[in-house]
């Protein structure tokens, strides 16, 4: 079967970029991305393509090319579902904050709402694609809802997890290591559905890079990939602490072990801790699933990745306090970067939030500069923690538009995000305008020690 109309529910970091690329590469398919968030849809529809709600290098150009040709953004979810032959569900699946599984399990309420809406609205056969990251066997629950409340419509459910990373989303989508499609490969209809999605990706992805599996393998592969990736970061971060005690340098260790082709060199960059909306959420979900099957050793093994990451963030913050003569009370600390990594405006679970919170608890004054994160977002992130009143967050934290205003008169500067522009700053000027001794903490191994020490900084970098 040939797909003519695609609907994607969820116009976020995954739905937006993924559908923009599908629309660009498949001009004969109409792609409609829908969301209940009116502001988000309005931003996608903004006449000035630079105002789209997600910052990703290269994305605005693709949106510009496809928008209003075969790429549409709308809040009319029902209409888009009705028209589509293929529906991607790309809504958020955050960690549950209530009830059974609170703090661990994935909250599937948005997924279930989508399924019920699809069941209610559909009058023709549909292929429903799980794009969101979901616990293994979610497709079973989806099928139950769709088959029991539908109008005699045939639904095929596919799992097609997304592996893009923020900041490199466009490149990851255009040149994926692999595309994974899980489907009911034991039936003709299931195989047809898988083929229909294979045909969409085949517009630009080599057939050999499109992997088809059963649904459960596909669902579990996504959680596994994120767990392995996060585990590498926690592994190198664990070593960073040992490096600091022994005179070894974590970058040298990472290079040496990474040159072993069995280990590989990628994803071994020590940091102040991984952030982002998914690693922690997906590992907690994995831990919850393992526990629910009574697999306590499996659960404990993966939970350690999170424990290590929390330790790394805390350790970085407590080292600032310790180095500043055991008190930061009333001291101005400048944080360069708030996003969870460079080249994104996303701040979800960013290490900077937790470091700031720790320092605020020690009564520090915080000033933040990030090239892509808005002031309101910084406050929203801190308010969400509920550690102090919203008023106090605004009194004690300021967010500025310029790195030199941020660092001026500060006791310490901490690099929280590895934005390229931080390498190019006039560090001599920064040093001259800081209080002395001028402390510089590099949570990303972004800066060169020698040149900074030459200027006069008291320099501390993770893992050396
Ligand atoms: P997001 O929060 O940026 O976007 C989700 C969107 O879905 C929101 O705009 C929300 O308003 C919308 N939504 C929720 N319920 C809806 C409903 N019933 N009808 C219409 N719209 C609805 O989330 P995201 O970062 O795009 O992640 C989505 C999924 O993809 C998650 O499961 C995540 O784990 C997974 N994922 C994310 C990334 C990433 O880099 N962010 C990468 C791979 C996979
Ligand atoms: C991650 C995965 O890389 C994607 O494959 C996956 O699709 C996505 O999660 C998801 O499911 O949401 P993302 O979180 O966008 O992507 O970004 P990463 O590049 O993985 O970085 C995650 C965090 O780890 C960042 O805070 C980053 O700074 C940190 N990190 C990464 C390190 O500290 N060291 C490294 O070597 C790599």
* CATH number of this structure's domain 307-461, picked from the four choices 3.40.50.300, 3.40.50.720, 2.60.40.2470, 3.40.50.1820: 3.40.50.720
Measured distance CA(371)–CA(445) in Å, rounded = 19
278 is catalytic: yes
Is residue 18 within 6 Å of ligand 1 at its C-beta?
A: no
Q: 420, 403 in Cβ contact below 8 A?
A: no
Q: How far apart are CA 152 and CA 146, in angstroms?
A: 10
Q: Ligand 1 pocket test: which of 12, 112, 167 has the largest number of ligand atoms within 8 Å of its C-beta?
A: 12
The tally of CA atoms less than 13 A away on the side-chain side of residue 40 is: 15
Q: Whose CA is closest to atom 10 on ligand 1?
A: 10
Cβ–ligand 2 contact at 275 (below 6 Å): yes
Percent helix, strand, coil in the chain, to 5, is 45, 15, 40
Cα Rg, the chain, nearest whole Å: 24
C-beta of 36 in contact with ligand 1 (< 6 A)? yes
**pTM reported for the whole predicted model:** 0.96
Q: Please give the number of the atom of ligand 2 that sits closest to the Cα of 163.
A: 7
**Structure tokens, 448:** 């060169």
Instruction: Please tell me the distance between residue 16's alpha carbon and the centre of ligand 1 in angstroms.
Output: 9
Q: Which residues are CB-contacts of 125 (< 8 A; sequence separation ≥ 6)?
A: 85, 153, 154, 155, 156
What is the residue with the minimal CA distance to atom 14 of ligand 1? 91
Which ligand gives the minimal distance to the CA of 78? Answer: 1
Which ligand lies nearest the alpha carbon of 284?
1
pLDDT in tens, 60-104: 999 999 999 999 999 999 999 999 999 999 999 999 999 999 999
d(CA 463, CA 376): 33
- Hey, do 5-205 and 307-461 end up sharing a CATH topology, with the first three levels equal? yes
Length of the chain: 464
Q: Which of 226, 216, 331, 336 is nearest to 272 (CA)?
A: 336
Give all strands (DSSP E) within 36-110, no chain letters.
71-74, 86-89
Instruction: Pick out the chain residues at pLDDT < 50.
Output: none
**5-205 has which CATH code?**
3.40.50.720
What pLDDT, on a 0 to 100 scale, did the predictor assign at position 152? 85
Q: Per-domain residue ranges for the chain?
A: 5-205, 307-461
pLDDT of residue 151: 76
**Does 172 sit in the ligand 2 pocket, CB within 6 Å?**
no
Round to whole Å and give the CA distance between 434 and 132. 46
For tokens 């190019």, the residue is: 424
């Amino acid at each position: 079967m040939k797909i003519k109309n695609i609907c994607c529910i969820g116009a976020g970091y995954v739905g937006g970029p993924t559908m923009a690329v599908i629309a660009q590469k498949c001009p004969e398919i109409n792609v409609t991305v829908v969301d209940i968030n009116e502001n988000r849809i309005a931003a996608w529809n903004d006449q000035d393509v630079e105002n789209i709600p997600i910052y990703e290098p290269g994305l605005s150009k693709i949106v510009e090319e496809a928008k209003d040709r075969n790429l549409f953004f709308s809040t009319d979810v029902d209409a888009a579902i009705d028209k589509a032959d293929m529906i991607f569900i790309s809504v958020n699946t955050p960690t549950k904050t209530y009830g059974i599984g609170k703090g661990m399990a994935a909250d599937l309420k948005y997924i279930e709402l989508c399924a019920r809406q699809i069941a209610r609205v559909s009058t023709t056969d549909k292929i429903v694609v799980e794009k969101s990251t979901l616990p293994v066997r979610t497709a079973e629950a989806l099928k139950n809802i769709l088959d029991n409340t539908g109008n005699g419509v045939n639904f095929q459910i596919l799992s097609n997890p997304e592996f893009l990373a923020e900041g490199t989303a466009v490149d990851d989508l255009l040149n994926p290591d692999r595309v994974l499609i899980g489907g009911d490969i034991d039936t003709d209809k299931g195989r047809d559905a898988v083929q229909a999605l294979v045909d969409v990706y085949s517009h630009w992805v080599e057939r050999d890079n499109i992997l088809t599996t059963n649904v459960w393998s596909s669902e579990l592969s996504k959680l596994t990939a994120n767990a392995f990736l996060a585990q590498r970061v926690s592994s190198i971060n664990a070593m960073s602490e040992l490096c600091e005690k022994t005179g070894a340098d974590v970058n040298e260790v990472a290079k040496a072990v990474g040159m072993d082709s069995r280990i590989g060199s990628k994803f071994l960059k020590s940091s102040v801790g991984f952030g982002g909306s998914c690693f922690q959420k997906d590992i907690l979900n994995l831990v919850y699933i393992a526990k629910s099957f009574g697999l306590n050793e499996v659960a404990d093994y993966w939970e350690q990745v999170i424990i290590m990451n929390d330790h790394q963030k805390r350790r970085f913050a407590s080292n600032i306090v310790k180095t500043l003569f055991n008190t930061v009370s009333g001291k101005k600390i400048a944080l360069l970067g708030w996003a969870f990594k460079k080249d994104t405006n996303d701040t979800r679970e960013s290490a900077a939030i937790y470091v700031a919170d720790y320092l605020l608890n020690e009564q520090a004054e915080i000033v933040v500069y990030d090239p892509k994160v808005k002031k309101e977002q910084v406050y929203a992130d801190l308010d969400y923690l509920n550690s102090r009143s919203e008023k106090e967050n605004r009194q004690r934290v300021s967010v500025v538009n310029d790195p030199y205003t941020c660092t001026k008169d500060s006791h310490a500067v901490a690099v929280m995000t590895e934005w390229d522009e931080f390498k190019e700053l006039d560090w001599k000027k920064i040093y001259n305008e800081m209080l002395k001794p001028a402390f510089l903490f590099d949570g990303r191994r972004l800066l060169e020690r020698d040149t900074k020490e030459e200027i006069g900084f008291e320099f501390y970098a993770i893992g050396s």
